[in-house]
Amino acid sequence: MPKARETAVYTHGHHESVLRSHTWRTAANSAAYLLGSLKPHMKILDVGCGPGTITADLAALVPEGHVTGVDHAEGILGRARATAAERGLTNVDFAVADVHALDYPDDTFCVVHAHQVLQHVGDPVQALREMRRVTKPGGIVAVRDSDYAAMTWYPESAGMDDWLDLYRRVARANGGEPDAGRRLRSWALAAGFTDITATSSTWTFATPDERAWWSGLWADRTLASEYARRATESAHATEEQLRAVSRAWREWGEREDGWFSVLHAEILGRK
């Protein structure tokens, strides 16, 4: 029986406004729940590595081990390799992979990590089964995903409400689940995990610089990214509606009392 393959479309794409946020991510701000479990000798698989900033951090934390970063999009791996090279890391490599059918033997890795991946895949339970399969007995599958419906901000903004509604519709039309965070534990149970530690953490954007950065990347992403193209081509929004949402983001970012929080769910599943 053939293995499942990716059927979802990555909603964000790799526009500069997307990479602006992806390259900001570090092991400290995106994988803190995992770091206490790492040992210097470990062999790690980083699924959906993108531009490789978290991957490189993980490699630095396992100097006697090795990290393999994989992504479904071959084009982004050049950026990931450059990130590792700039840091002088020699214990990391990168490859194209589909998380639904990983091209690695059973029991290969000490840790399999995925950040903001399961919300974008066609079958998250199958993805977790594959991540579990390639993990060694006693090893860990570590997954962290945001939950769009749980994101919250102040002050209230009709335009921002429109953004959230639009993003969730586009993401689901692409085959993903934008409210993945709340589902992680359930998906892990369905994938066969019995030893699961479930936690949560947040990103918060409240200072002037944080608001300007977060609002700016979403304002730009709403107009110029793969997400914007799919929103209009699939008739989820007109270009004028996208411009209105982009303006709402910039207006929120200029508010002195502006505050935005992104909730993330996290699981450590032990095999």
For the purposes of burial, counting CB atoms within 10 Å of the CB of 159, is it exposed (0-12), middle (13-18) or buried (19 or more)?
middle
Task: Check: CB of residue 72 under 8 Å from CB of residue 12.
Answer: no
Residues 6 or more apart in contact with residue 120 via CB below 8 angstroms: 8, 10, 11, 48, 171, 174, 176
- pLDDT for 7: 65
| Residue 71: its H or E element | strand 66-71
Query: What was the pLDDT predicted at 14?
Result: 65
Residue 48 has a pLDDT of 97
> Would you state the pLDDT for residue 29?
97
SS3 content of the chain, % helix, strand, coil (to 5): 45, 25, 35
Read off φ and ψ for residue 111, nearest 5 degrees.
-140, 135
pTM, whole model, 2 decimals?
A: 0.94
Q: In the prediction, which pLDDT does 1 show?
A: 33
Helices (H), 174-225: 184-190, 208-224
The residue type at 249? W
Eight-class DSSP state of 153 = E
CA distance 92 to 69: 7
Segments of the chain with pLDDT less than 70: 1-8, 10-11, 13-15, 17-19, 21
| Token pair 């953004």: residue | 163
> Mean pLDDT, the chain, as a whole number?
94
